[in-house]
A and B are shown apart, each in its own frame.
Chain A
């Protein structure tokens, strides 16, 4: 049991921090521009594919730097020439635009890289078990993922709270007009934040590609979960996004690890059920089975009972 708990904690931490890398950019973009960027996870996918192609030429490490930069530039271009154009039609039009973009990016990725999973793997220097506990290995690459994520978290926090740019961004989140009147170029700040947010998503893709697989559906798999994270955490709240990322990371890993089912509960209560009944699936429901839907149940509960999210100030 201890073994299970320790490894679930670690794996949940990896997933949670990865989610945070995506959700931090998304929640910043949302709080500044009011845009829920549906295509955010698509930038994550682009990061993985760019890094894969770069790694085939010059190896993993240059890709770790170049790919997020490329994705950041792509994000800034999308903001400048796409989103800003659609902005005058309102937030719903923006949401539809980013949805279309997500659809389009998936098709573009299939156009260039095909439908099959790409053989993008961790560098050999990181392919060893970091430590062995109860006979189970913990790969060094996962530790590397934790390290990068924590580094990004600290860096982001420092920039936002200590630097001049960070202060302008924080001000532009709540009072964009005042910041504009003070002579700052708010559209440029928007473009920059969108670019940096996309680059963070790209970086998440670079380090997640080898661990979770690099395939055209990878954006789809993670996209909705990232939405859940930022709504649960409270739109616009970085701290909330952090808490919600870890919460959902652990929720999913523990739900998969703990093989409890309604069946066990029934057995405990001494109740039996008819194996051919139409409701049989309900009585054999197990925790690993419902793991994929837990985040969505959490999302709906939060939206009904606490629309501001865990740590958000404004209502969604």
Chain B
């Protein structure tokens, strides 16, 4: 049974919990794994029925990509969120695990190795681990800026090596394989995308479960301690370097596992999979989702994969939108999308969410106006800047707008400026409503 007493005895006599007590309680509650069992059960059910809800081939492909991203982003958060290590080279373990998985896949096909496909992510993980051990050996001495710099150096080094060593990395065209050549597992040969989906979903579930359990072990707990105050952690008798090293290796293992999944899904790996762009992308996913929460990177992976696959079909500016989203997150919501939701936890528990939702509802109108105006301006600006002579139609929200005439610009500008002005006027009221709902006196800034 779980430790539940603390929740019932948590509130003090005057009904207001001190902040530290709330945090401690939350930690206690989160600490009990059995309490999270319903969540894991729900995850299993959702993963099972997803292909039935979204049966189209495109949707299954997108969901497979999400699965890979989820494992990769969760492994990244073992470094950044749980260990306080900002890495700019995490794609190294993802990519190397993936490349070696493809080579193993080819050995299964040509050299007669015996390996059922579902075990391939494990192989990728072991290769990721094999690279994380020596690199972690020298790079985990310090956290912060030094660690970030070393990870950047290692990332650039491996990316540059991938162009030099053609025999292993396949040069420009990469290395490809065939996943269907292994021994069939219970009759499955993984010919169809749906079969691959269920394999991916299973691996995602197992990997996420183990990463969650890792964060509950003393090693995971000490990683938090070292992140928050490395000096005190040393006083308790732990070597900060060793604690970081353990997290780093575990993280490398799961990144390699994600690489193995990538190999199964796409059957090809290229230099792109281990360069700085991929390393930056995983930072974006984890951070936008929220590095302070276990589910944060999962949210980030889902949202950014959707943006990458769906939004990119509609606009060539999608990376600009992602960049703006990222910078705004860093500046105004450093706890990520999950943090924005979690912020409302106290209001929900105290039953005061209603008035806050009403206030949000009022703000929604100018927000939508502002976003619509801003997007229109950007899209029309893009057409006006880039397009060839004679082509002056911008296609946004299913509308065709002629950017050579003034009215569309005027409407967009009015929407954007008006929305922004109304939002700025509403901001103090929203802050008040939030303060009242969460019980903070005078409205928290």
Q: For chain B, what secondary structure do more than half of its interface residues adopt (helix, strand, loop), or is it mixed?
A: helix
Which of the 9-residue segments B140-148, B211-219, B250-258, B261-269 touches chain A? B140-148
Q: How far in angstroms is the closest Cβ of chain A from B161?
A: 7
Mask of B374-409 contacts with A, CB within 8 angstroms, 1/0: 000010011001100000000000000000000000
- Please give, as numbers and ranges, the residues of chain A lying within 8 Å of B283 by CB-CB distance: 96, 99
Mask of A25-39 contacts with B, CB within 8 angstroms, 1/0: 000000000101000
Q: How far in angstroms is the closest Cβ of chain B from A278?
A: 5
Interface residues of B in 132-176 (CB under 8 A from A): 138, 142, 144-146, 148-150, 152-154, 156-157, 160-161, 163-168
Within 8 Å of chain B (Cβ to Cβ): is A6? Answer: no
**Option from B154, B164, B276, B284 in Cβ contact (under 8 Å) with A300:** B154
Within 8 Å of chain B (Cβ to Cβ): is A282? Answer: yes
Assuming the contacts A99-B280, A103-B326, A227-B152, asked whether A91 and B145 have C-beta atoms less than 8 A apart, the reply is yes
Check if A231 sits within 8 Å of B149, measured CB to CB. yes
- Please give, as numbers and ranges, the residues of chain B lying within 8 Å of A227 by CB-CB distance: 149, 152
Check if A297 sits within 8 Å of B168, measured CB to CB. no
Assuming the contacts A114-B385, A281-B167, A296-B153, asked whether A303 and B146 have C-beta atoms less than 8 A apart, the reply is yes
Q: Measured between alpha carbons, how far is A293 from B287 in the docked complex, in Å? A: 29
Assuming the contacts A104-B324, A293-B156, A296-B157, asked whether A316 and B149 have C-beta atoms less than 8 A apart, the reply is yes
Q: Measured between alpha carbons, how far is A36 from B334 in the docked complex, in Å? A: 19
- Please give, as numbers and ranges, the residues of chain B lying within 8 Å of A101 by CB-CB distance: 327
- Please give, as numbers and ranges, the residues of chain B lying within 8 Å of A292 by CB-CB distance: 160, 163
Interface residues of A in 179-196 (CB under 8 A from B): none
Mask of A252-292 contacts with B, CB within 8 angstroms, 1/0: 00000000000000000000000000111110010001101
Check if A111 sits within 8 Å of B166, measured CB to CB. no
- Please give, as numbers and ranges, the residues of chain A lying within 8 Å of B86 by CB-CB distance: 92, 95-96
Q: Measured between alpha carbons, how far is A34 from B148 in the docked complex, in Å? A: 14
Check if A299 sits within 8 Å of B149, measured CB to CB. yes
Assuming the contacts A104-B324, A108-B320, A281-B167, asked whether A97 and B330 have C-beta atoms less than 8 A apart, the reply is yes
Check if A93 sits within 8 Å of B84, measured CB to CB. no
Within 8 Å of chain B (Cβ to Cβ): is A307? Answer: yes
Check if B157 sits within 8 Å of A104, measured CB to CB. no
Within 8 Å of chain A (Cβ to Cβ): is B317? Answer: yes
**Option from B276, B287, B382 in Cβ contact (under 8 Å) with A224:** B276
Within 8 Å of chain A (Cβ to Cβ): is B319? Answer: yes
Check if A224 sits within 8 Å of B317, measured CB to CB. no
Q: How far in angstroms is the closest Cβ of chain A from B79?
A: 11
Q: How far in angstroms is the closest Cβ of chain A from B304?
A: 13
Q: How far in angstroms is the closest Cβ of chain B from A152?
A: 26
7 pairs from A and B in contact (CB 8 Å cutoff) = A85-B331, A86-B331, A95-B148, A104-B323, A104-B327, A279-B167, A280-B167
8 nearest A-B pairs in the assembled complex, by CB-CB distance: A104-B323, A107-B320, A293-B160, A299-B153, A296-B157, A100-B327, A100-B326, A281-B165
Report which B residues bind A (CB closer than 8 A): 84, 86, 88, 138, 142, 144-146, 148-150, 152-154, 156-157, 160-161, 163-168, 276, 280, 283-284, 287, 317, 319-320, 323-324, 326-327, 330-331, 334, 378, 381-382, 385-386
